[in-house]
Amino acid sequence: MPDVTIIDVSPRDGLQNDPNPVSTEEKLQLIRMLVEAGISKVEVTSFVHPLKVPQMADASQLMDTMDSIQGVEAIALIPNLKGYERARVHQLTELNWVSAATETFNAKNIGMSINENMEQFLDVLQMAKKDGIQTCFSVAVSFGCPYEGEVAEEDVLNIVKRVKEAGVDRIGIADTIGIATPDHVERLMKKVLAIANGTPVTIHLHDTRGLGLTNAYAAYQAGVRIFETSASGIGGCPFAPGAAGNLATEDLVYLFERMNISTGIDFEKLLDAADYAALLSTKTPLGRIRHVERKQEKGNEG
């Protein structure tokens, strides 16, 4: 068994904010390459309103093709009850429900208050249990909000307590705008893990200020063993002004493997998937190690 689990979110979070239309087949190819590299858990799409996030308008079409890929555990982001009704008819392993730690971000992101969002999630949670679909509840802007600034740790922890008591299968903590620092990450994640008390906890990091890897290692030191990343570091939240891409999957895998922390991922195949992800995006990928490895390969060829 690997020491850590990597969930790649590039087909959803990596592409959702890109103005260049990406075809269903291209998304499917990216997912296929990630799975071939050894990443079995992939956040493949989101069932949001197509007018809000046009890139995800093919969510149902993409999910209909997922049975062509063996060994993938498909995760989809679900923003509301209507989104769940659309998603539940597909072969979905897990749904990822997102609520922000601040009222302003919630209002701009999903048009609900924190309590309204929570009440709707609790209804969806019960339906998902009956449908045999696992649930993850992710807390956005856990380390800082683009609208309200600093976020009190207690606000994050109160949400974690509620979803833990409700019986969620996984809890996600997100640094949506890439504002976190290693000391903050380690301190908060230790508290989250204590409340979770056995429920798996994931951290989702953005590399906006170049601290993604150090924050990931701080989370590992705190006890986190599940990480959400994006191939080549593409992505960014459309409702978080200034948010750059996600922490690059290949950068984190490189770090862990060099430290003898096993990921179960084929690094060379992952680089191929990261190359492909970068081609699909019009934004400058934040991933670093891919460029170094490719330059070395060209040097060796010469």
DSSP sequence for 209-227:
TS-HHHHHHHHHHHT--EE
The pTM of the full predicted model, rounded to 2 decimals, is 0.95
d(CA 227, CA 15): 18
- 85 contacts: CB under 8 Å, gap ≥ 6: none
Residue 294 confidence (pLDDT): 65
Calculate the alpha carbon distances from 136 to 50, 75, 93, 193, 255 in Å.
22, 9, 11, 15, 26
Cβ(104)–Cβ(125) below 8 Å: no
For residues 25-32, average pLDDT = 98
The whole-number average pLDDT for the span 80-95 is 96
Share of the chain above pLDDT 90, in %: 85
The residues near 95 (Cβ < 8 Å, ≥ 6 apart) are 75, 76, 77, 78, 84, 87, 124, 128, 133, 134, 135, 136
pLDDT, average across residues 187-207 = 97
What is d(CA 267, CA 253) in angstroms, rounded to the nearest whole number? 7
Among the listed residues 101, 189, 237, 280, the single catalytic one is 237
Asked if pLDDT for residue 289 goes beyond 90, the answer is no
Say if residue 77's pLDDT is above 80. yes
User: For 35-65, what is each residue's pLDDT tens digit?
Assistant: 999 999 999 999 999 998 999 999 999 999 9
Mean pLDDT of 129-149: 97
What average pLDDT does range 77-88 have in this prediction? 96
Average per-residue pLDDT for the chain:
94
Phi, psi values for residue 296, rounded to 5°: -65, -40
Q: What is the CA 269 to chain-centroid distance, rounded?
A: 20
Q: How far apart are CA 6 and CA 217, in angstroms?
A: 13
Q: Three-class SS of residue 271?
A: helix
Q: Where are the domains of the chain?
A: 5-301
pLDDT of residue 46: 97
- Known catalytic residue: 145? no
Going by C-beta distance under 8 Å and a sequence separation of 6 or more, which residues neighbour residue 49?
Answer: none
Strands 170-175 vs 134-140: parallel, antiparallel or unpaired: parallel
Answer for the pair 218, 205: CB distance below 8 angstroms, yes or no.
no
Residues 6+ apart with CB under 8 A from 290: 232, 248, 250, 271, 274, 275, 278
- Helices marked H in 97-201 — which ranges? 103-110, 114-131, 153-166, 182-196
For residue 263, give the amino acid letter: T
- 130-139, 173-182, 281-290: the lowest-pLDDT one: 281-290
Cα separation, 80 vs 221, in Å, equals: 34
Superfamily of domain 5-301: Aldolase class I (3.20.20.70)
Beta bridge partners of 226: 5, 202
pLDDT over 90 (residue 107)? yes
